[in-house]
Chains A and B, each alone.
Chain A
Amino acid sequence: MSYVTKSPWVIHYDGSSCNGCDIEVLACLTPMYDVERFGIINTGNPKHADVFLVTGAINEQNKAVVQQIYDQMPEPKVVVAIGICATSGGIFKECYNIMGGTDTVIPVDVYVPGCAARPEAIIDGVVKGLGVLAEKKAAMGKKPAEPAPAAEEAATETEMKEEA
């Protein structure tokens, strides 16, 4: 039983969002939706966070910031891209300074499209993220640090041979 799903602390980063999705993210914390019911707390510190909520497309200036926030979060961690801009770049995709969605910089686990994404959709996305979080936690427990990659390689090799 993993407690990580019972107390997911989120950190919220605004890429180059128009603030529509940001306001909806914060709306989740209000008495109307009250995500603290699920133990979700909004923290300002990546070192305390389990879930990384990104809104807005990634541009050349903030890709290093997003990368750093992601790197500073301890495992297990989950990235949720909120809104169509964070998912794929949205209407800004063709802009000269936009790289595209969040997944151009860091691996994304859950996509929540919408313009702006509704609070219900965001909560749904985070709850889906909790499933991923539990899986990652289980994977962390199983693999001892060293022999795991070797075993994986061997497995993929045998698979490839079988295919051949």
Chain B
Amino acid sequence: MTTMILWVIAYLIFAPLVGGILAGLDRIVSARMQGRVGPPLLQPFYDVLKLMEKEPLTVNKVQDFYVMCFLIFIVITGGFFFAGGDLLLVIFSLTLASVFLIVAAFSSNSPYAQVGAERELLQIMAYEPMVLMTAVGFYMFTGSFRVSDILTFGQMPLLYLIGIFIGYLFILTIKFRKSPFDLSMSHHAHQELVKGLTTEFSGKTLAMIEVAHWYENIFLLGFVFLFFVNGTPLSIAIGVVVCLAAYFLEVLIDNSYARMKWQFTLKSSWVIAITAGFINLVVLRFMF
């Protein structure tokens, strides 16, 4: 119980720090890939602190409330995950958080924000089947949805869930908001006429979205970690290294592709979910 509380507190404190540093590394690595020097490592923190200093400017009051709910539910989702809670609960509260962000964008009545919100809905349609299959895959392998049980199961899930791992890596691109699937909101100006989902958010509201994004990235990488852990210290080291490698892979993909249309996003992620994910589940069904 106490270790659980400690994990949650550690998550609350360190996730934004690690997430922010990862975002800084992302920007430096991206810049190097483009032959530039790039910003300082702490640039994402400067950005957020600057946004906190800006004049509050909102279209309506509910918008800030919804964005606040988005941040809170993202933090709660990560809290469930790091407390060793139920994977299904994690996925459902993650979806709820995304819905709050979409409602916030819709509430502004701006056409750009609404296009972004519609695209975000499409992205949820694209990645949700695979995320659910990830949880089901862990259940079929270990017999439990609880993260704490999966961590101490004793066998490395990757060997049996390789298809699901590939599918999860694929939708991770959507969740990290990386090209070619950064339809609803991109970190790069060249992809975007206006800022998609976040068009009508500025100042503190935008800072909250950015911080939520850091929290989100950390527990999404936590899912990657789950595939590699089997209770031994060596597996933990492998897990961390693979998390970093997965993040680097996403940055590499981000820099080597232009944005695709939503049709491709939906089709390709469902094809991957059905081929890699579903077949993996069927095989597991006959193995156990």
Contacts and interface: CB of A to CB of B under 8 A. Distances in A.
Contacts of A50: 50, 54
Contact of B49 (A3, A31, A37, A38): A3
Nearest to B59: A47
Contacts of A34: 31, 36-38
A148 B66 CA distance: 34
Interface stretch (B186-194, B245-253, B263-271): B186-194
A39 B39 contact: yes
B32 to A, nearest CB: 10
Q: Which of A31, A44, A47 has the most CB of B within 10 A?
A: A47
Given A3-B50, A44-B192, A74-B57, A39 B43 contact: yes
Contact of A39 (B35, B36, B46, B201): B46
A47 B199 contact: yes
A75 B195 contact: no
Place the interface of chain B in its size category.
20 to 34
Contact of A36 (B36, B194, B206): B36
Contact of A6 (B46, B194, B198, B199): B46
A4 interface: yes
Contact of B202 (A39, A47, A137): A47
A7 B47 contact: yes
Contacts of B54: 4, 50, 74-76
A37 B54 CA distance: 22
Given A34-B36, A36-B39, A44 B53 contact: no
A45 interface: yes
A75 B50 CA distance: 11
Contacts of A93: none
A34 B55 CA distance: 28
B84 interface: no
A16 interface: no
Interface string B46-64: 1101101111110000000
Contacts of A48: 195, 198, 202, 206
Contacts of A36: 27, 31, 36, 38-39
Contacts of B47: 7, 39
Q: Which of A6, A34, A45, A72 has the most CB of B within 10 A?
A: A45
Contacts of B40: 39
B26 to A, nearest CB: 13
Nearest to B49: A3
B129 interface: no
Interface of B: 27, 31, 34-40, 43, 46-47, 49-50, 52-57, 189, 192-195, 198-203, 206
21 contacts: A3-B46, A3-B53, A6-B43, A6-B49, A7-B50, A34-B31, A34-B36, A34-B38, A36-B27, A36-B36, A37-B36, A37-B37, A37-B38, A37-B39, A39-B43, A44-B189, A44-B192, A45-B195, A47-B199, A47-B201, A50-B50
Given A7-B46, A43-B189, A44-B189, 8 more contacts: A6-B50, A36-B38, A37-B37, A39-B40, A39-B47, A45-B194, A50-B50, A74-B57
